[in-house]
Structure 1
Amino acid sequence: MTDSGSVEVKQPPASNNGQQWMAMPQLNGGASGVPPGLEYLAQIDQLVIHQQIELFEALSGIECKNRYVIKNTLGQQVYYAYEESSFCHRCWCGAGRGFVMHIVDNQYQEVMRLVRPFKCCAGCCWCADAACCSYEINIESPPGQVIGSVRQIGSKWKPMYEILDDSRATVLRIGGPCCPCQTICCTADVDFKIKGSDGVTDVGKVSKQWGGFFREVITQADNFSCTFPMDMDVRMKATLLGASFLIDYMYFEKENNN
């Protein structure tokens, strides 16, 4: 299992899709207190996350490490994300595996690191208030410094999450539908609504988008969007990006290999 903080960062494979990258904002991240590399988020109110199709995985059924292109609403690439996890965990634990997700900018500098620890008994919403039964992901920027986390919380049926800041205080909440799934007969977006800490005020949403028959049925490559206020703190925007990945793995990463 890949351990938090123990993963050696490697040069990620190039995103060879000819994608135009978003220009670096003219902000002094260090001087303004913004973690380096998160300056992009100050000018964004939505991130679009495209998982890259792994042909070997689609043909063989063997789970590969996931890779993602993260764009703004203009279609410009903002970040590139790639997973680090063990082969055994991918094969035997499937979507429940622990992983480290490295997120790099257009200079291939790692600006964020998402760490999801492996928990063998986690996932059930009825007992998610217990730490050992609650899936969680920590967001680090720069790598090694936690700026926020996302934690599954207990509920009767619907997926529920808390968005925590670096002091573990609850800042936002996310609630999903009773049946967070898509099929060829139900292709509408699946929305996980982001609300204030009161659980009532609408703030934004994480949406699983229908990617078409081939992408959804033949592959495991998902499309997501994460929408939030433009003036939200960039650390919270980064944490909501982490929430998108946690939701993807919990509800939309197929478990054909289990």
Structure 2
Amino acid sequence: MQMMSPPQGIMVPQGLLGSLSYLASLNEVVIHQHLDLLECCGNMRPFTLNITDNMNQHIFQLHRPYRYVGSCLWCCCLQEMDIQSPPGIIIGSVKQIWTCWSPKYQVSDAQGNPVFMINGECCYCACCTDIIFQVSDANSGVEVGRIIKQWGGCREIFGGVNDFRVQFPVEMDLQKKALLLTATFLIDFVYFERNNNNN
């Protein structure tokens, strides 16, 4: 994924690269992702994902350790991912919370304090419809955004292309927007890349 250079005149929070400030004026980000899983481990494999701007400068670096992706009964293999911006500086993490049915994730800041809870639908494999993950403030429980997996039609069935919309208030803290945006990649990797394991 590439992000555009930041608009002029927007101040950048300390510790974040300038290109990240582009999020400050947005209330929605659209992600068009094409991911090829060539390894035999498929979506269980560890990865380091670099997200750059149009000047090829790193904005985020995402680190996910090896984790088994299987039945919800495997509570010892919950998914997690660290988020760095710039690379080497951890700004937060995303961790799966064990539930019997529907997906649930906790997004935390650099100190490990919960920022968001992300709750998915119990049927996240439905065809011909969008799939919504509700984002709530971890303290108040109030919904503050959504991660929407958009139905992609035939190209989604036959290829490894996924489209997401990440929605949040325009006035949301820039770093929180960044954490929410990057959480989308782990959700995509865990729930929507399974059909590509044999590519």
Query: TM over 0.5: same fold?
Result: yes
2: CA distance, partners of 1:166 / 1:23 = 23
The residue correspondences of 1:211-222 to structure 2 (distance < 5 A) are: 211-213=152-154, 215-222=155-162
Contact 1:123–1:134, Cα closer than 8 Å, also in 2: no
C-alpha distance after superposition, 1:187-242 (max 9, x if no partner): 111000001114731111111001121x1111011001111111222111111112
Asked whether 1:210 is paired with 2:191, we answer: no
Structure 1 residue 23 displacement after superposition: 5.3
- Give runs of aligned pairs for residues 1-258 of structure 1, distance below 5 A: 21=4, 24-29=7-12, 32-33=13-14, 35-36=16-17, 37-52=19-34, 64=36, 90-120=38-68, 123-128=70-75, 130=76, 133-183=77-127, 187-198=128-139, 200-213=141-154, 215-253=155-193, 254-257=195-198
Could you say what the CA RMSD is over the residues aligned between the two structures, in angstroms?
A: 2.4
Which structure's residues are more often strand, by fraction? Answer: 2
**1:7 aligned partner:** none
List, as ranges, runs of 4+ consecutive aligned residues in structure 1 with deviation greater than 6 Å: none
Match of 2:23, SS?
A: helix
Tell whether the 8 Å contact from 2:5 to 2:53 is kept in structure 1 after alignment.
no
Conserved 8 A contact 1:48-1:223: yes
How many percent identity over aligned positions?
38
Structure-1 separation of matches of 2:165 and 2:126:
15
Check conservation: 1:148, 1:235, Cα contact below 8 A. no
Shift in CA distance, 232/123, structure 1 to aligned 2, threshold 3 Å = farther
Q: Give the secondary-structure state (helix, strand or coil) at the position aligned to 1:222.
A: strand
Deviations 1:12-36 (A, max 9, x none): 9xx8xxxx9565332242xx42611
- Give the SS at the match of 2:161: coil
Tell me the secondary structure at the aligned position of residue 40 of structure 2.
helix
Structure with more relative contact order (C-alpha pairs < 8 Å, separation 6 or more): 2
User: Counterpart of 2:16 in structure 1: which amino acid?
Assistant: P
Structure 1 pair 222/149, CA: closer, same or farther in 2 (3 Å)? same
Structure number with larger C-alpha Rg: 1
In structure 2, how many angstroms separate the alpha carbons of the residues matched to 1:110 and 1:251?
Answer: 26
CA drift at 1:126? 3.9
Conserved? CA contact 1:139–1:239, under 8 Å = yes
Where structure 1 has 5 or more consecutive residues not aligned to the other structure, the ranges are 1-11, 55-63, 66-89
Shift of 1:49: 0.3
CA distance in structure 2 between the aligned counterparts of 1:166 and 1:26, rounded to whole angstroms: 27
Aligned length, in residue pairs: 197
Contact 2:136/2:142 (8 A) holds in 1: yes
Q: Note the C-alpha offset of 1:244.
A: 0.5
CA shift digits 1:68-109 (9 cap, x unpaired): xxxxxxxxxxxxxxxxxxxxxx42111222111111112110
